[in-house]
Amino acid sequence: MKKIAIFDMDGTLVDSMYQWSCIPANTLFQFGYQMTDEDEREVRRLGFYKSPAYLISRYGLPCTEEEFIERGYLLMQEQYRQFILMRPNAKNYLQQLRRKGVRTVVLTASAGVFVDIMTEKFGLEGLIDGCFSAHDLNIEKSKPTIYRMLFDAYDCTGEDCVMFEDSAYALHTAKELGIDGVGVLDPVRPGQHEALAQVAVRCVNAYDELLKDDIFSE
């Protein structure tokens, strides 16, 4: 029987992907530059963690990639504190899993500080058992290492887990390790929907679908 629910954070538990997409441009603006349409397309293609190298080279910015990312993180922390909300009924679903005795773990590419902000802001203490941050551990979420760390920490295997995720690449890795995946479709990222459907055992548009028809049995 499945006993552990693994949740991605951004785009899955919280509606934050639009804000993340704006951070490279907002960080660049701190250096006095306005991103062009061409740059915006390239940054979307590269993603948050790979775009700093491109922007630093393109604009001759006086910083390292790590410094650019840290500036972005500071901007994003403010977004988390002031504007970002949980996805509708996500907290209710966490509460339902708790009543069933299912352990819940956040596995995110982002820094653990965002999980801390989310937990405090939305009152999730007692609803999340642990967090694995690929950023803090300096490993990639696309690689098996972080998942195996979770297995060791919770004395489980992939067959014991279900992963909730809005990115297909993570569910591909999870599937290779025997983890069933649920695609949580994010309207901000429609390009991911078909890829999620191909790798997930189930896709949902909203958590109320899981409240009514849970993938975890009683």
pLDDT in tens, 54-63: 999 999 999 9
Range of 159's domain? Answer: 4-14+86-212
25, 43 contact by CB (below 8 A): yes
Q: Residue 217's pLDDT is what?
A: 78
Which of the listed residues 30, 64, 82 is the one where a domain comes to its end? 82
Q: Residue 218's pLDDT is what?
A: 57
**Is there a single domain that holds both residue 186 and residue 93?**
yes
**Is there a single domain that holds both residue 69 and residue 117?**
no
**Is 218 among the domain residues?**
no
**Is there a single domain that holds both residue 127 and residue 93?**
yes
- Angstrom distance (rounded) from CA 174 to CA 196: 12
Tokens of 190: 């429609």
For residue 47, pLDDT beyond 90:
no
State the chain's mean pLDDT as an integer: 96
pLDDT bucket at 28, cuts 50 / 70 / 90:
very high
Could you identify the residue written with the tokens 């002031």? Answer: 82
**Is 71 among the domain residues?**
yes
